[in-house]
Amino acid sequence: MINNIAVLKFGGTSVKNIGRIRHVCELVNKRRREGPVLVVVSAMGDTTDYLVKLAGQAAAEPDKRELDLLLSTGEQISITLVSMVLRTMGVAARSFTAYQVGIFTESIHNKARIVDIKTDTLSKAFEENDVVVVAGFQGVTTGGEITTLGRGGSDTTAVALAAAVGAPVCDIYTDVDGIFTADPNLVRSARRLPRISYEEVVEMARLGAQVIHPRAVELARQHRVVVRVRNTFKPDDQGTIIDGGEQMEIYRTVSGVAVDKEQASVAIVEVPDRPGIAAKIMRAVADQNIVIDMIMQAFHPKSGLNNITFTVARTDLKPTIAVLNQLKDELGATEVEADQDIAKVSLIGAGMVHQPGIAARLFSVLGEAGINIKMIATSEMKLTCVVSRAEADRAAQLIHDAFELGAP
């Protein structure tokens, strides 16, 4: 453990160019006067997207191992530049890749999860430096293979490191003021929440809110690390605090609305209605490391048959269809159908479970506006409707207004 350490993570927009990197380094320099600082950075600006594009030009289906090696270079550029600028300010700083630090992951490329962090290298680095700069988004297997953690992986890196070094707080710096009741770019009346629980943020992130990755929040909840989402360009603003909600007065039924337009639905049609069929389908999809979200089984007009429909990320649609087509004849199904004209619009809140009438109110709002609901999913903390992509933004605004989320 390293005493009194501050963990600061800066996203791609915060280190987009040298001017912004200098601004970040000024924040770090100010913070290090209070104690040692561990900085986690993402790749500069749109670097990762650019590298993905290059890979796509090199190969129609890039090898996952090679893709991870390529993508990991983005963060290496960022950490070295941040360290260089800090050193020109007279700050003792040193940069490290995840490989050098010892951030070990499972042996899965493109979507690996962290399994262990060795803190020996960090402890030694802080004996000689005030600031240690670590590459986010990447890891290494026990066999020495470089892996990446998937989109938003730098958030996960930062929280995991905070837990590993015993830091009680992890500051996630981005280009927004915090977590809002809805995306301000979609909902004009959205407002910033000063405080929110881990559980609510996990739901928001899973359902389309892109301020922080859900895996990072789940890790923070597990290790009781308080996360602060702050604006890099408003350093005096405390942003939004994410914690366990202890002693938080339950004053709101719902906390926000999330929109996810990066989804597609897939249906396997006329599947025989017998035990084990659904499990076989889900297992085949899971074996391809594809995450399934909403699932609906509906009886087909023909006796003894079902249609099984579920949603996946749009990027996973092609392999999902391939898997189901391989299963179709074996299961006796007739066809596989896909619908890319969908979006998830979700209402989230820790108090929803105790309030009757939430669903009726939401469905009435959409029905009166002539917005058709394709699928529905509920839990104690969320109510999700699948609508046409073109209707998603309007649906979010209507729901936000109906539940008065813009009111202080």
Provide mean pLDDT across the span 377-395. 92
Report CA-CA distances (Å) from 202 to 39, 379, 385. Answer: 23, 13, 18
Q: In DSSP terms, which residues pair with 267 in a beta bridge?
A: 309, 337
Q: What domains can you pick out in the chain, each with its CATH number?
A: 6-175 (3.40.1160.10)
Summary count for the chain: helices (H), strands (E): 12, 22
Pinpoint the alpha helices (H) of 13-112.
18-32, 47-58, 64-88, 98-101
Q: pTM score, two decimals?
A: 0.82
Of 78, 82, 88, which Cα lies nearest the Cα of 12?
78
Per-residue pLDDT, averaged over 89-112, amounts to 95
Query: How far from 229 is each of 148, 218, 239, 253, CA to CA, in Å?
Result: 23, 15, 6, 22
The answer, yes or no, to whether residue 400 has pLDDT greater than 90, is yes
User: Hunting for tokens 């301000």 — which residue is that?
Assistant: 184
Angle at 357 between CA 354 and CA 363, to 5 degrees: 130
- SS3 label, residue 376: strand
364 close to 371: Cβ distance less than 8 angstroms: no
Least confident of 106-115, 134-143, 265-274, 296-305: 296-305
pLDDT confidence bin for 27, thresholds 50/70/90: very high
Average pLDDT in the 262-290 region? 91
Q: Give 32's pLDDT tier (boundaries 50, 70, 90).
A: very high
- Write the pLDDT tens digit of every residue in 114-163: 999 999 999 999 999 999 999 999 999 999 999 999 888 999 999 999 99
pLDDT bin (cut points 50, 70, 90) of residue 211 is confident
pLDDT of residue 191: 92
pLDDT at residue 120, rounded to an integer: 93
DSSP-derived pairing of the beta strands 256-260 and 305-313: unpaired
- pLDDT tens per residue, range 231-260: 999 999 989 999 987 655 455 678 899 999
DSSP strand pairing (240-243 vs 195-197): parallel
